[in-house]
Each structure stands twice: as structure tokens, then as C-alpha cells.
Amino acid sequence: MKEIVLDTETTGLSVKEGHRIVEIGCIELENLIPTKNKFHSYLNPERKVSKKALEVHGYSDDFLSKQSKFTEIVEEFLDFIKDKRLIIHNAEFDLGHLNNELNLLGKKKINNEIVDTLTLSRDKFPGSPSSLDALCKRFRIDNSKRTQHTALIDCDLLAKVYINLIDQKEPKLNFQSIHGEKEEASNSNVTYFKKVIIPSKDEINRHKKYLNQHLKKNFFN
């Protein structure tokens, strides 16, 4: 099964305030193992970056003004994700911005199956920090290159976090409660799927092999 780990960076938090996407990063997984297929694009948001957002990702107005507009890369992006399951940390935020960009071009909202790793981590480790940095620390994943938020670096880290999250033998998720449920995001008009699929034995065996080869610590006996 192919999945896409996805992350965006933006000019600010709220689409209601006119904020736009400045970067999209995607990494493809096949049977929970990263492939060489990636999608990445900086974007000209056609507006100024907020001060807080600049502190987060460091992309200046001058740098972004020289980049492609969303309309120029939209078809390539949609072709890359197609109908694949999307792995996103805090999916409401990223989907809200992506669907806003699509709406501005008169295109349909993203209707892919979504795994929200923020929800997944909160269900698995209730009361514990669930930021990407906190999860990297929990799973002993090296995030030293993450001096600022950039989409591809965040995707790479999230891919490693994701395969650890679905593999841990600690308290099991109640898959029935989220399996196939369609939810309306509370702070936006974004509709997305928060769906977790239990991996097959073959998928588990494949990513066990990957963990043993690539991660500093594996969690198998």
C-alpha cells in the first residue's frame, strides 16, 4: 500500500485572515517504507509572511516572491497524492490551507483518507506532549537538523514517527472508534477522514525490517 506523508508551511495560522501556503512537502511510503518519490515546492503566497510565521520557517517575502504560484503546481501536486492515504500531523491545519488554495482555483476539496498523527499520538499517549519534536524525543529519532520548520525535513521526521506510532506494543488504540469515521473540523469548513487502518502481517514484517536497518532503536522483542 502506498501512502503520502505531507506537510505544509504557511504565511500564518488562519485562512480566514487570508493566509496562504508557502511550501508543500510530500514523501511517499510503500508498505510503510519510504520510497524515493517525493514532491516539494516553495510557493509565492502573493502576500506578506507574518512575523510569527517567519520565525517558524524563515522564508522571507523576497525569497517567496520568486517562487511558483499554487496554480502552477496544483496539477502536479494532485497527481502525486492521487487517492493515496495521507499521513499528516495536525491534519485540520494543513487540510484547511490546502483546501483553501484549491477553493481559490475553483477545485474540489481533498477527499483522501487521512491519518492524523496528532490524534493518533494523543490517543496512544494521553496527557503526554504530542508535538513532532516531543514524539521524536519519545522514539529517539534524531531531529537535530530541524532548526526551523521546513516541509521536507518535517515529512522525513513524521514518516519515522508514524511507523513507530503504529508499531508500539503499549496501550492499543480503539480502532473501532475512529475506523472510517468522517469528521467535520471544529474550527474550519474542512471535512476530512480520520481513519487508521490496521496493517497486514506482510506490512508489519516489511517495516520491522526497515526499523531494524534504519532507526537507532527498534521496539521489537
- pLDDT per residue over 7-42, tens digit each? 999 999 999 999 999 999 999 999 999 999 999 999
Number of domains in the chain: 1
Instruction: Indicate whether 103 belongs to any domain.
Output: yes
List the domain range (segments joined by +) for residue 122. Answer: 2-214
The fraction of the chain above a pLDDT of 70, given in percent, is 80
pLDDT at residue 195 in the model: 46
Pairing of strands 2-10, 85-88: parallel
Instruction: Indicate whether 198 belongs to any domain.
Output: yes
Q: Average pLDDT, whole number, for the chain?
A: 85
Active-site residue, from 19, 57, 97, 149: 149
pLDDT at residue 181 in the model: 42
pLDDT at residue 173 in the model: 40
CB 78 within 8 A of CB 41: no
User: Helix H segments across the chain?
Assistant: 51-57, 61-65, 70-81, 91-104, 117-124, 132-138, 151-165, 175-178, 201-214
149: annotated active-site residue: yes
Instruction: Indicate whether 175 belongs to any domain.
Output: yes
Instruction: Indicate whether 220 belongs to any domain.
Output: no
Q: What is the CATH number of the domain that holds 196?
A: 3.30.420.10
Instruction: Indicate whether 221 belongs to any domain.
Output: no
Residue range 95-151, pLDDT digits in tens: 999 999 999 999 999 999 999 999 999 999 999 999 999 999 999 999 988 877 789
Instruction: Indicate whether 132 belongs to any domain.
Output: yes
Phi and psi (nearest 5°) for 155?
-65, -45
